[in-house]
Chain A
Amino acid sequence: MTGKRYGMSIDIDRCTGCGACMVACAVENNVPPAPEGATDRKGITWMRVFPVDNGRDGPDRKSVFVPMLCQQCGQDAPCVSVCPQQAVQVDPATGIVGQMPERCLGCRYCMAACPYHARYFNWWDPAWPAGMEKTLNPNVAPRMRGVVEKCNFCHGRWHAAKERAVGRGAREIDPADYVPACVEACPTAAIRFGDLNDPRSPVAQAAQQSGSFRLLEKLGTEPKIYYHSAREWVREIGRAPAGKEQVHG
């Protein structure tokens, strides 16, 4: 089970902005409802759909929805190099950038370093409305106040997939067993997931497709999330050209 490099492809042209991925993500990963007093930056949204437009008015105005999550950078992930606690690690077996809440001291250097604003700080202890704790996912441990968290490609599902493989007596997981919650929930199949090292996987093929791009590629962070749009202005936003202000919703 070595040599995997899990990645995602997101077709912006197919995203309707429904937010099903955001809900599925929070439920799967035991992210509690935002407490009263949570602001836009204090809430926790491992997956978040941003409305983005081309900055023009009237009939020239065009807009799209961009699902944003941890871009799962390569070996030189900015969050890994700044962490004083070695609490962030690029898993050698899967390429998944993992966050260890037990090691995190809450300094939030990683949040400052992340060019994608994909990391979130627990400003409060997690709390669920009475009765809702019964819906918690046993494969994911809730995080405590004072630590940073982020998308880890639904790592609990990776564990479950490995266990199913053992149950079958197989050494390799069935790719169909390991699908993150956002991918499963997307009604337009805009998000796809798979092993980028496997040339037959739909994600590896989507990454090679024309119109495919990664966010802020010039930074050299080597993200494993590949976006796609047939429209040039959308791809340009992904590059964040100098001198142009990006509009975020």
Chain B
Amino acid sequence: MKHRSTYVFLSGVLIALGAGWAGFPYAIYESRPQPVDFSHKVHTGAGGMKCDDCHQLRPDGTFAGIPRLEKCAGCHAAAMGSTAEEKQFIDGYVTPKREVAWSVYARQPGNVYFPHGAHVKQAGLSCERCHGKHGQTETLRPYQEDRISGYSRDIWRGLTMGDCVACHEQHGIGQQGCLDCHK
């Protein structure tokens, strides 16, 4: 065969590229399930709750993030329904007063300063603008953590610095200093 070495080389390149392209995203992220199979849909749908019923701004303007067990126990001190998940949650966390170690999909690197108040309360953005339809999900998908950086994979789904800058430029909030969003 005339070009044998060329074919061998090219197929090698293709295999390496394919492995890198398809395999690397799986190899780089470590996947772990959330401690409790929480359904947002049950709460926002039939429960009729809104995002800020649980994810609140504190009086000093800072964002409280995922509520503490105390908030859940306010309703779930005893079972409200008959699902096995709720019973597990009450027996495993509410009764022994053990905080749930949630993994936060949208957790940003430590040098990022993101004020929820300025975006939600002042600018009037909806939660879905950045978090998508998270409030309608029936189950919590596994949390994927970058093995090298330790960051959540979800940051690459609309929560990168490029996404922040694009939105700010679109709304004419340009000319910003770096330290406006970094700390």
* Interface residues, chain A, with chain B CB atoms under 8 Å away: 89, 91-94, 96, 98, 100-103, 139-142, 152, 155-156, 159-160, 162-169, 171
Contact = CB atoms under 8 A, between A and B. Distances in A.
Given A163-B61, A165-B61, A167-B61, A92 B177 contact: yes
Nearest to A136: B110
Contacts of B12: none
B8 interface: no
A166 B117 contact: yes
Contacts of B115: 159, 162-163, 166
B24 interface: no
A247 B179 CA distance: 35
B175 A92 contact: yes
Nearest to B117: A166
Contacts of B122: 166, 171
Contact of A98 (B57, B113, B118, B177): B177
Chain A: interface secondary structure?
Answer: loop
- Binding site of B, secondary structure by majority: helix, strand, loop or mixed? loop
Nearest to B112: A141
A92 B97 CA distance: 49
Contact of B180 (A93, A101, A163): A93
Contacts, number: 69
B178 A89 contact: yes
A152 B179 contact: yes
B3 interface: no
Contacts of B6: none
B31 to A, nearest CB: 27
Contacts of A165: 61
Contact of A164 (B60, B113, B121, B178): B60
By Cβ-Cβ distance, the 10 closest A-B pairs, closest first, are A167-B61, A91-B177, A163-B61, A166-B117, A141-B111, A98-B179, A166-B61, A100-B178, A141-B110, A164-B61
Nearest to A168: B61
Contacts of B110: 141-142
Contacts of A93: 176-177, 180
A163 B180 CA distance: 12
A162 B57 CA distance: 14
A167 B179 contact: no
B129 interface: no
B61 to A, nearest CB: 3
A164 B59 CA distance: 8
16 contacts: A101-B111, A102-B111, A141-B111, A141-B182, A152-B179, A159-B115, A160-B60, A162-B61, A163-B61, A163-B115, A163-B117, A166-B121, A167-B58, A167-B61, A167-B62, A167-B117
